[in-house]
Structure 1
Amino acid sequence: MLAYQRLCAEICREFGIPAHRVMAHREVNIGKPDPHSIDMDGFRVQVARLLAGRAPALPTQEDPVAMLPMLRQGADNYHVKTVRGCLFARGGLPEASYGGPSGLKAWLERTSFDSALTKDVKAFQAAHNLDADGIVGPLTWAKLLRV
């Protein structure tokens, strides 16, 4: 990721483009899937740090969720499996969400962030006094991972 941030900083420097103009393909081509779910706000902050001559901020032990992506409906990657596993491990997930014992393995192995998972994430967020928007960002990751 750092190599990509450095590349973007060099392009911005070369053409006089501010970091806030750096865009992900999902921000330009709305209909395309985003398999990597990069948090572009955080990415742009790191590009801005590089443009200012500072090294990108590295996550510390106190901030283990800093490198985790923001996930929302439509994401399709292995981080979604982590969300599913955490939701199941934290309890409170209705058995209907995963189809009972016979459906659990398949549910845990799915990498797609579908509407049903959005509903489960919203329920988890509400139960933990978070904004129930269905998006797994830093605050939701911290609750899911218990950090």
Structure 2
Amino acid sequence: MATPLTATRALSALRAAGMDVVEVNSWETHNRNHMGPWGPVYGVIIHHTGPYSSQAQMVGMCYNGRSDLPGPLCHSVIDKQGTCHLVGWGRANHAGRGDAGVLAAVKAETILPADRSATADGNPHFYGAELINRGDGVDPWPEEQLDAAARWAAALCREHGWSERSVIGHLEWQPGKIDPRGFSMDDFRARVAKLIKEDETGGAKPPASGTSPAKPSTPKPIPPPYPGAQAFGPGKSNESILLLGKHLVRKGFGRHYRVGPSRTWGEADRLNVADFQRAQGWTGLDADGYPGPETWRRLWS
């Protein structure tokens, strides 16, 4: 049994796990807590989204919900590039009713029984991640996505002192569910266990009493080649725009994105670039929101 993590602590844990995180709108306070308490929490549930037209559309739906099910529909959406989109924090409409025996096994971290009934409400007791995948058994699971999902689960387990047995799939919780389809939850739990073990055994040792810890050196990121001004602007769509958007978010200049960056140039990209340019002390045409070579270089400095 555990008190749910605060949004701030969860965000720190995910970033410490090396995740690429995008904060969507007011995710920290976006929840269904008015429907009942959130917590105590016992574990995490992994889902797949099902059919989708675009990743941005699916992130938006998981934030806003559907006509028959109000959002948020999970806490995190993990896309095929391994980016974690935070869409809510608190009670979310993701788990629904599942097997009370499964809930008891997760609490005790013992072998899961078959899910045969739907009598226990999981929404107060589980963190939930939606992994973008059509769930048809054909849509691929990129390694970047599976690694990010395992890091997400391991980070939350680590914060609570849980083992990988606190991680289950939706299909193991609620009768009739098939998600996540396309990989084994036993294999996924093995990934989580390895990440938890690596953190326990591979971290830096605490300094001896009376000494100051050595500050690790952080190498500067190497900027990718500037793609040229022609890569940016209305009607443009390419990987450089996505790369630019993700790095703007990492630098703290992503406030205009509603559902995170994409490959297609939009007004949010221009406004975020302009914010970064003004933060350099630039004005006028030097802060027009279109990245030139110096803007590009400074983003990675």
TM-score, normalised to structure 1, is: 0.44
Q: Which has the higher contact order (CA 8 A, sep 6+)?
A: 1
Question: Higher helix share goes to which structure?
Answer: 1
Mark the structure with the bigger radius of gyration: 2
TM-score, normalised to structure 2, is: 0.23
Question: Higher strand share goes to which structure?
Answer: 2
